[in-house]
Amino acid sequence: MAEVLTRYLRREGFDVTCLADGMVALEQALASPPDLAVLDIMLPGLSGLELCRRLRAALDVPIIMLTALGEEADRVVGLELGADDYVTKPFSPREVTARVKAILRRTRAGAAPKAEETAPLVAGDITVDLRTREACARGMRLALTALEFDLLAFLCRHPREVFTREQLLDNVWGFQVADSSTVTVHVRRLRQKVEADAARPTHLKTVWGVGYRFEPS
């Protein structure tokens, strides 16, 4: 599986390093950070979940997890640990390649905002600076992943507008997935960083049966 996926990615012009041991992968990633990591959960040396946790603690690198079909608990845990996306097995190498392209396209586009977007977005006690890709809440800088920043920035651009999970996948992730738990977990992670009390959010509101909206204050 790793060999086939490596061939597909290289055919699309990516420089791919394929490693079969979790600890070796961690050491190499820390020594030479990649633009993106694709992790299988079942790895010798260090599990994919633990590798995800350690990578997220040290690097702001997009992470795609590969999980077994039906293992919803593993998918949720991976997302909670900081993965940006997951793909269930069996999968098409074309699908993974498309996800890689979409995530890298989003992160690279986000790093260079348009001229008209250089002014910081201010929504109540939240400030989002698109130029420096920094966000603050109540005067304190937030430690956000690239995807969390993009999700917050998108919602701040559209205050009080309700978005379904599918619409957020289209606009922030750039693709659709089989289920929307990816969005649910990312909103929960973002609440823990943005809200003064994540259990009683004042900004990231759930619209039951529909999706989410952002309240400036």
Domains plus CATH for the chain?
1-112 (3.40.50.2300), 113-217 (1.10.10.10)
Mean pLDDT for the chain overall: 87
Amino acid identity of 99? Answer: R
pLDDT value of residue 99 = 87
Conformation bin of residue 82: beta by default, left when phi > 0, alpha when psi is -120 to 50 = left
Task: Give the pLDDT mean for 36-44.
Answer: 91
- In this prediction, residue 26 has a pLDDT band, given cuts at 50, 70 and 90, of very high
The verdict on whether omega for the bond into residue 113 sits within 30 degrees of 0, i.e. cis, is no
- Residue 134 to residue 74: CA distance in whole angstroms: 30
Q: Which two tokens stand for residue 121?
A: 């977005």
Nearest Cα to Cα of residue 26 among 71, 56, 67: 56
Instruction: Work out the pLDDT band at 22, boundaries 50, 70, 90.
Output: very high
90: cis peptide before it, omega within 30°? Answer: yes
Global pTM value: 0.75
